[in-house]
Protein backbone atom coordinates (compact mmCIF):
# COMPACT_ATOMS: atom_id res chain seq x y z
CA UNK A 1 0.00 0.00 0.00
CA UNK A 2 2.62 2.52 1.05
CA UNK A 3 4.82 1.36 -1.80
CA UNK A 4 2.06 2.15 -4.24
CA UNK A 5 1.52 5.59 -2.81
CA UNK A 6 5.22 6.34 -3.06
CA UNK A 7 5.24 5.07 -6.61
CA UNK A 8 2.29 7.02 -7.79
CA UNK A 9 3.57 10.39 -6.66
CA UNK A 10 6.34 10.94 -9.16
CA UNK A 11 4.21 9.17 -11.71
CA UNK A 12 1.38 11.57 -11.13
CA UNK A 13 3.81 14.46 -11.30
CA UNK A 14 5.14 13.13 -14.58
CA UNK A 15 1.60 12.76 -15.87
CA UNK A 16 0.76 16.30 -14.80
CA UNK A 17 3.88 17.61 -16.50
CA UNK A 18 2.95 15.70 -19.63
CA UNK A 19 -0.59 17.03 -19.80
CA UNK A 20 0.64 20.51 -19.16
CA UNK A 21 3.14 20.15 -21.99
CA UNK A 22 0.33 18.92 -24.23
CA UNK A 23 -1.90 21.80 -23.19
CA UNK A 24 0.71 24.42 -23.72
CA UNK A 25 1.86 23.02 -27.04
CA UNK A 26 -1.42 21.58 -28.23
CA UNK A 27 -1.53 23.56 -31.45
CA UNK A 28 2.03 22.71 -32.40
CA UNK A 29 1.55 19.02 -31.62
CA UNK A 30 -1.64 19.17 -33.69
CA UNK A 31 -0.02 20.64 -36.76
CA UNK A 32 2.89 18.20 -36.66
CA UNK A 33 0.31 15.42 -36.36
CA UNK A 34 -1.56 16.72 -39.40
CA UNK A 35 1.68 16.83 -41.34
CA UNK A 36 2.60 13.27 -40.43
CA UNK A 37 -0.89 12.06 -41.28
CA UNK A 38 -0.92 13.68 -44.72
CA UNK A 39 2.60 12.47 -45.36
CA UNK A 40 1.61 8.92 -44.49
CA UNK A 41 -1.38 9.11 -46.83
CA UNK A 42 0.83 10.28 -49.66
CA UNK A 43 3.41 7.57 -49.00
CA UNK A 44 0.70 4.91 -49.04
CA UNK A 45 -1.03 6.45 -52.07
CA UNK A 46 2.07 7.15 -54.12
CA UNK A 47 5.06 5.29 -52.72
CA UNK A 48 6.94 5.56 -56.01
CA UNK A 49 6.91 9.36 -55.59
CA UNK A 50 7.03 9.89 -51.85
CA UNK A 51 9.74 7.36 -51.10
CA UNK A 52 12.13 9.02 -53.56
CA UNK A 53 14.09 12.18 -52.96
CA UNK A 54 13.01 14.14 -56.02
CA UNK A 55 9.73 15.29 -54.53
CA UNK A 56 11.50 16.54 -51.40
CA UNK A 57 14.00 18.45 -53.46
CA UNK A 58 11.14 20.01 -55.41
CA UNK A 59 9.43 21.09 -52.18
CA UNK A 60 12.62 22.48 -50.71
CA UNK A 61 13.14 24.41 -53.93
CA UNK A 62 9.80 26.14 -54.33
CA UNK A 63 8.26 26.44 -50.85
CA UNK A 64 10.90 28.89 -49.52
CA UNK A 65 10.04 31.47 -52.20
CA UNK A 66 6.92 32.35 -50.20
CA UNK A 67 7.73 30.47 -46.99
CA UNK A 68 10.25 33.15 -45.98
CA UNK A 69 7.33 35.62 -46.14
CA UNK A 70 4.84 33.46 -44.25
CA UNK A 71 7.13 33.51 -41.19
CA UNK A 72 7.17 37.26 -40.47
CA UNK A 73 3.59 37.47 -41.76
CA UNK A 74 2.74 35.23 -38.81
CA UNK A 75 3.86 38.04 -36.51
CA UNK A 76 1.67 40.56 -38.31
CA UNK A 77 -1.33 38.26 -37.92
CA UNK A 78 -0.53 37.57 -34.26
CA UNK A 79 -0.60 41.35 -33.75
CA UNK A 80 -4.14 41.31 -35.14
CA UNK A 81 -3.33 42.73 -38.58
CA UNK A 82 -3.00 41.21 -42.03
CA UNK A 83 -0.95 41.96 -45.13
CA UNK A 84 -2.24 41.12 -48.61
CA UNK A 85 0.26 43.26 -50.47
CA UNK A 86 3.38 41.11 -50.03
CA UNK A 87 2.91 39.43 -53.42
CA UNK A 88 3.37 42.82 -55.08
CA UNK A 89 6.29 43.77 -52.83
CA UNK A 90 8.10 40.67 -54.15
CA UNK A 91 8.01 42.26 -57.60
CA UNK A 92 8.82 45.77 -56.34
CA UNK A 93 11.94 44.33 -54.75
CA UNK A 94 13.02 42.82 -58.06
CA UNK A 95 12.44 46.08 -59.89
CA UNK A 96 14.73 47.75 -57.36
CA UNK A 97 17.16 44.86 -57.80
CA UNK A 98 17.26 45.36 -61.52
CA UNK A 99 17.53 49.13 -61.36
CA UNK A 100 20.25 48.82 -58.73
CA UNK A 101 22.19 46.45 -60.94
CA UNK A 102 21.70 48.63 -63.98
CA UNK A 103 23.13 51.62 -62.16
CA UNK A 104 26.07 50.03 -60.39
CA UNK A 105 26.77 46.70 -62.08
CA UNK A 106 27.02 45.24 -58.60
CA UNK A 107 24.82 42.32 -57.60
CA UNK A 108 25.51 43.07 -53.94
CA UNK A 109 24.10 46.56 -54.30
CA UNK A 110 21.22 45.21 -56.36
CA UNK A 111 20.39 42.78 -53.57
CA UNK A 112 20.61 45.52 -50.94
CA UNK A 113 18.37 47.73 -53.08
CA UNK A 114 15.77 44.98 -53.19
CA UNK A 115 15.76 44.51 -49.42
CA UNK A 116 15.70 48.24 -48.70
CA UNK A 117 12.83 48.82 -51.12
CA UNK A 118 10.92 45.95 -49.51
CA UNK A 119 11.50 47.47 -46.09
CA UNK A 120 10.33 50.90 -47.20
CA UNK A 121 7.24 49.67 -49.00
CA UNK A 122 6.35 47.53 -45.98
CA UNK A 123 6.93 50.47 -43.67
CA UNK A 124 4.69 52.61 -45.84
CA UNK A 125 1.96 49.98 -45.41
CA UNK A 126 2.45 50.28 -41.68
CA UNK A 127 2.33 54.07 -41.74
CA UNK A 128 -0.87 54.13 -43.79
CA UNK A 129 -2.51 51.55 -41.52
CA UNK A 130 -1.38 52.90 -38.16
CA UNK A 131 -1.25 56.65 -38.69
CA UNK A 132 -4.39 56.90 -40.79
CA UNK A 133 -6.24 54.21 -38.88
CA UNK A 134 -7.23 52.20 -41.95
CA UNK A 135 -7.87 48.49 -41.29
CA UNK A 136 -4.94 46.52 -42.66
CA UNK A 137 -7.20 44.25 -44.73
CA UNK A 138 -8.47 47.22 -46.73
CA UNK A 139 -5.23 49.17 -46.84
CA UNK A 140 -3.18 46.28 -48.20
CA UNK A 141 -5.75 45.43 -50.88
CA UNK A 142 -5.13 48.96 -52.06
CA UNK A 143 -1.35 48.79 -51.84
CA UNK A 144 -1.30 45.36 -53.46
CA UNK A 145 -2.88 46.83 -56.60
CA UNK A 146 -0.90 50.04 -56.38
CA UNK A 147 2.53 48.42 -56.23
CA UNK A 148 1.71 45.83 -58.88
CA UNK A 149 0.61 48.76 -61.00
CA UNK A 150 3.89 50.57 -60.35
CA UNK A 151 5.81 47.47 -61.43
CA UNK A 152 3.75 47.16 -64.61
CA UNK A 153 4.15 50.81 -65.49
CA UNK A 154 7.89 50.77 -64.87
CA UNK A 155 8.50 47.46 -66.63
CA UNK A 156 5.80 47.82 -69.33
CA UNK A 157 5.21 44.14 -68.89
CA UNK A 158 8.82 43.33 -69.73
CA UNK A 159 10.67 40.61 -67.85
CA UNK A 160 14.40 40.36 -67.47
CA UNK A 161 16.80 37.47 -67.85
CA UNK A 162 19.07 36.97 -64.87
CA UNK A 163 21.70 34.78 -66.49
CA UNK A 164 24.17 37.51 -65.56
CA UNK A 165 24.09 36.03 -62.07
CA UNK A 166 25.72 32.82 -63.30
CA UNK A 167 28.66 31.75 -61.11
CA UNK A 168 28.29 34.73 -58.81
CA UNK A 169 28.70 34.58 -55.07
CA UNK A 170 25.23 36.01 -54.50
CA UNK A 171 23.45 33.35 -56.50
CA UNK A 172 25.59 30.56 -55.04
CA UNK A 173 24.88 31.70 -51.51
CA UNK A 174 21.15 32.18 -52.03
CA UNK A 175 19.99 29.38 -54.29
CA UNK A 176 22.74 26.89 -55.17
CA UNK A 177 22.42 23.21 -54.31
CA UNK A 178 24.31 22.56 -51.09
CA UNK A 179 26.14 19.25 -51.32
CA UNK A 180 24.64 18.91 -54.78
CA UNK A 181 21.21 18.24 -53.33
CA UNK A 182 19.79 20.62 -50.73
CA UNK A 183 18.61 23.92 -52.24
CA UNK A 184 20.24 26.80 -50.36
CA UNK A 185 16.92 28.64 -50.17
CA UNK A 186 15.52 26.08 -47.76
CA UNK A 187 18.46 26.72 -45.46
CA UNK A 188 17.63 30.42 -45.72
CA UNK A 189 14.05 29.64 -44.85
CA UNK A 190 15.22 27.75 -41.77
CA UNK A 191 17.45 30.69 -40.81
CA UNK A 192 14.57 33.11 -41.25
CA UNK A 193 12.40 30.82 -39.12
CA UNK A 194 15.02 30.79 -36.35
CA UNK A 195 15.41 34.55 -36.42
CA UNK A 196 11.66 35.18 -36.40
CA UNK A 197 11.19 32.57 -33.66
CA UNK A 198 13.80 34.37 -31.59
CA UNK A 199 12.20 37.77 -32.13
CA UNK A 200 8.75 36.43 -31.32
CA UNK A 201 9.67 34.44 -28.23
CA UNK A 202 12.82 36.00 -26.86
CA UNK A 203 12.65 39.67 -27.74
CA UNK A 204 10.54 42.60 -26.56
CA UNK A 205 9.27 43.12 -30.08
CA UNK A 206 7.75 39.64 -30.04
CA UNK A 207 6.35 40.02 -26.54
CA UNK A 208 4.67 43.23 -27.62
CA UNK A 209 3.38 41.56 -30.78
CA UNK A 210 1.46 39.01 -28.72
CA UNK A 211 0.17 41.68 -26.33
CA UNK A 212 -1.09 43.97 -29.08
CA UNK A 213 -2.96 41.16 -30.78
CA UNK A 214 -4.38 39.95 -27.50
CA UNK A 215 -5.56 43.25 -26.03
CA UNK A 216 -4.43 46.45 -27.64
CA UNK A 217 -6.03 48.58 -24.94
CA UNK A 218 -4.08 46.84 -22.18
CA UNK A 219 -0.89 47.13 -24.19
CA UNK A 220 -1.39 50.88 -24.54
CA UNK A 221 -2.31 51.38 -20.88
CA UNK A 222 0.86 49.58 -19.82
CA UNK A 223 3.08 51.61 -22.10
CA UNK A 224 3.69 49.34 -25.07
CA UNK A 225 4.50 51.40 -28.14
CA UNK A 226 1.69 49.89 -30.18
CA UNK A 227 2.05 52.08 -33.26
CA UNK A 228 5.78 51.60 -33.69
CA UNK A 229 5.53 47.85 -33.16
CA UNK A 230 2.80 47.42 -35.76
CA UNK A 231 4.65 49.54 -38.33
CA UNK A 232 7.86 47.62 -37.78
CA UNK A 233 6.10 44.29 -38.33
CA UNK A 234 4.80 45.44 -41.71
CA UNK A 235 8.31 46.56 -42.61
CA UNK A 236 9.66 43.10 -41.71
CA UNK A 237 7.14 41.45 -44.02
CA UNK A 238 8.26 43.90 -46.70
CA UNK A 239 11.91 42.89 -46.37
CA UNK A 240 11.00 39.22 -46.38
CA UNK A 241 8.84 39.69 -49.48
CA UNK A 242 11.67 41.28 -51.39
CA UNK A 243 13.96 38.50 -50.19
CA UNK A 244 11.52 35.82 -51.37
CA UNK A 245 11.27 37.56 -54.73
CA UNK A 246 15.05 37.57 -55.14
CA UNK A 247 15.26 33.89 -54.19
CA UNK A 248 12.73 32.85 -56.78
CA UNK A 249 14.01 35.11 -59.56
CA UNK A 250 17.64 34.07 -59.14
CA UNK A 251 16.64 30.43 -58.90
CA UNK A 252 14.65 30.44 -62.16
CA UNK A 253 17.08 32.86 -63.89
CA UNK A 254 14.29 35.23 -64.76
CA UNK A 255 12.31 38.12 -63.32
CA UNK A 256 8.71 38.19 -64.39
CA UNK A 257 6.75 41.36 -63.58
CA UNK A 258 3.91 39.18 -62.30
CA UNK A 259 6.29 37.65 -59.74
CA UNK A 260 4.35 36.65 -56.63
CA UNK A 261 0.95 36.25 -58.23
CA UNK A 262 -0.52 32.97 -57.12
CA UNK A 263 1.20 32.99 -53.72
CA UNK A 264 -1.37 34.99 -51.78
CA UNK A 265 -3.66 32.16 -50.77
CA UNK A 266 -0.85 29.63 -50.25
CA UNK A 267 0.94 31.86 -47.85
CA UNK A 268 -2.10 32.88 -45.83
CA UNK A 269 -3.34 29.29 -45.74
CA UNK A 270 0.03 28.14 -44.40
CA UNK A 271 -0.15 30.63 -41.53
CA UNK A 272 -3.72 29.75 -40.55
CA UNK A 273 -3.10 26.03 -41.05
CA UNK A 274 -0.18 26.46 -38.66
CA UNK A 275 -2.59 27.49 -35.92
CA UNK A 276 -2.18 31.25 -35.85
CA UNK A 277 -5.45 32.83 -34.78
CA UNK A 278 -7.06 35.26 -37.18
CA UNK A 279 -8.23 37.14 -34.08
CA UNK A 280 -4.63 37.76 -33.01
CA UNK A 281 -2.84 37.03 -29.76
CA UNK A 282 -1.78 33.46 -30.50
CA UNK A 283 0.32 31.69 -33.08
CA UNK A 284 3.65 29.92 -33.48
CA UNK A 285 6.52 29.90 -35.92
CA UNK A 286 6.81 26.11 -35.88
CA UNK A 287 3.15 25.94 -36.91
CA UNK A 288 3.68 28.24 -39.87
CA UNK A 289 6.87 26.45 -40.92
CA UNK A 290 5.15 23.08 -40.99
CA UNK A 291 2.05 24.65 -42.54
CA UNK A 292 4.13 25.90 -45.47
CA UNK A 293 5.36 22.44 -46.34
CA UNK A 294 1.93 20.89 -45.97
CA UNK A 295 0.47 23.47 -48.35
CA UNK A 296 3.42 22.99 -50.68
CA UNK A 297 3.03 19.21 -50.73
CA UNK A 298 -0.68 19.04 -51.39
CA UNK A 299 -0.63 19.79 -55.10
CA UNK A 300 2.20 17.44 -56.13
CA UNK A 301 0.83 14.88 -53.70
CA UNK A 302 -2.59 14.87 -55.28
CA UNK A 303 -1.15 14.42 -58.74
CA UNK A 304 1.22 11.69 -57.58
CA UNK A 305 -1.59 9.81 -55.90
CA UNK A 306 -3.19 9.64 -59.33
CA UNK A 307 -6.00 12.14 -59.04
CA UNK A 308 -6.25 14.72 -61.79
CA UNK A 309 -5.25 18.30 -61.13
CA UNK A 310 -8.97 19.11 -60.96
CA UNK A 311 -9.00 17.72 -57.46
CA UNK A 312 -6.34 20.06 -56.17
CA UNK A 313 -8.47 22.95 -55.02
CA UNK A 314 -11.13 20.72 -53.51
CA UNK A 315 -8.61 18.91 -51.36
CA UNK A 316 -6.78 22.13 -50.54
CA UNK A 317 -10.04 23.56 -49.31
CA UNK A 318 -10.87 20.47 -47.35
CA UNK A 319 -7.54 20.26 -45.56
CA UNK A 320 -7.46 23.94 -44.73
CA UNK A 321 -11.04 24.06 -43.48
CA UNK A 322 -10.74 20.90 -41.42
CA UNK A 323 -7.44 21.99 -39.90
CA UNK A 324 -8.68 25.41 -38.97
CA UNK A 325 -11.79 23.89 -37.43
CA UNK A 326 -9.58 21.47 -35.54
CA UNK A 327 -7.51 24.34 -34.21
CA UNK A 328 -10.63 26.07 -33.01
CA UNK A 329 -11.70 22.93 -31.17
CA UNK A 330 -8.26 22.35 -29.67
CA UNK A 331 -8.15 25.96 -28.54
CA UNK A 332 -11.52 25.68 -26.84
CA UNK A 333 -10.45 22.43 -25.16
CA UNK A 334 -7.33 24.04 -23.80
CA UNK A 335 -9.30 26.71 -22.02
Partner 1 sequence: MDYILEMRDITKSFGEVQSLRNVNFRVAANEIVGLLGDNGAGKSTLIKIITGYHRPDSGEILFRGQKVEDLTVPKARALGVETVYQERALADLQTLWRNIFLGRELSNRFGVLQVKRMKEETHRLMVEQMGYTSSAVNPDSVIKTFSGGEKQGVAITRALYFHAELVILDEPTMGLSLHETRKLLNFVRDIKVAGKSAVFIDHNVFHVYSVADRVVVLDRGQIAGEFLTKDITHDELMEKMYRVAQTGSLD
Considering the complex, state which of residue 1 and residue 221 has its C-beta at the smaller distance from partner 1: 221
Tell whether residue 214 is a contact of partner 1 (CB under 8 A): yes
In the complex with partner 1, which residue's Cβ is closer, 14 or 203?
A: 203
Determine phi and psi for 203, rounding to 5 degrees. Answer: -130, 150
Judged by CB under 8 A, does residue 330 bind partner 1? no
Q: Per-residue string for binding with partner 1, 161-180, x by CB under 8 A?
A: --------------------
Say whether residue 272 binds partner 1 (CB under 8 A): no
Length of the chain (residues): 335
Residue-wise DSSP of 70-90: HHHHHHHHHTT-----HHHHH
List CB contacts of 179: < 8 A, sequence separation 6 or more.
none
Around 190, how many Cα atoms within 13 Å sit in the side-chain half-sphere?
Answer: 8
Residue 44 makes contact with partner 1 by CB under 8 A: no
**How far is Cα 186 from Cα 65, in angstroms, rounded to an integer?**
9
Gap between the Cα atoms of 172 and 186, Å rounded: 13
Q: How many residues form the binding site for partner 1 (CB under 8 A)?
A: 25
- Segment contacting partner 1 (CB under 8 A): 113-121, 134-142, 148-156, 197-205? 197-205
Q: With respect to partner 1, which residue has the nearer C-beta, 20 or 106?
A: 20
| Binding residue (CB under 8 A) for partner 1 from 28, 176, 225, 258 | 225
Among 249, 241, 2, smallest CA distance to 107 is for 249
Region binding partner 1 by CB under 8 A among candidate stretches 135-143, 172-180, 218-226, 260-268: 218-226
Go through 217-255 and write b for each residue having 16 or more CB atoms within 10 A of its CB, e for each that does not.
eebeeeebebeebbbbbbbbbbbbbbbbbbbbbbbeeeb
Surface-to-core class of residue 77, CB atoms within 10 Å of its CB (0-12 exposed, 13-18 middle, 19+ buried): buried
Binding mask 226-245 for partner 1 (x = CB under 8 A): --------------------
**Contact with partner 1 (CB under 8 A): which of 112, 207, 307, 319?**
207
Binding partner 1 (rule: CB under 8 A), the pick from 127, 205, 307, 315 is 205
Q: Could you tell me which stretch among 115-123, 198-206, 263-271, 287-295 binds partner 1 (CB under 8 A)?
A: 198-206
Select 166 or 332, whichever has its Cβ closest to partner 1: 332
Within residues 279-298, the interface with partner 1 by CB under 8 A covers 281-282
Query: How far, in Å, CA of 50 to CA of 44, rounded?
Result: 9
Nearest to 230 by CA among 249, 259, 210, 257: 210
Q: How far is the CB of 208 from partner 1 (least distance, A)?
A: 8
Residue 270 to residue 246: CA distance in whole angstroms: 21
Residue from the set 9, 131, 177, 203 that interacts with partner 1 by CB under 8 A: 203
Does residue 202 bind partner 1 (CB under 8 A)?
yes
- Count of C-beta atoms within a 10 Å radius of residue 256: 17
204 binds partner 1 (CB under 8 A): yes
The footprint of partner 1 (CB under 8 A) covers 16, 20, 24, 202-205, 207-208, 210-211, 214-215, 217-225, 281-282, 335
Amino acid sequence: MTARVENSKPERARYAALTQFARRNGLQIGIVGVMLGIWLLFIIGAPETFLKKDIYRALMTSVPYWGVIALPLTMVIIAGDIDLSFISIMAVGMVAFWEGYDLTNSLGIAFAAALVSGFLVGLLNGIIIVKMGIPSLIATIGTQFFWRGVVEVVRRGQGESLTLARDTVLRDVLVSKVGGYVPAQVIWMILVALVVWFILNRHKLGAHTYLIGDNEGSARLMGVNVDRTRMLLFALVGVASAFGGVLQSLDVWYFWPNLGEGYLMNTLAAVFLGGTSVFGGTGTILGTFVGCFIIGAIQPGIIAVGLTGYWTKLIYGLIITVSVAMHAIVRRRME
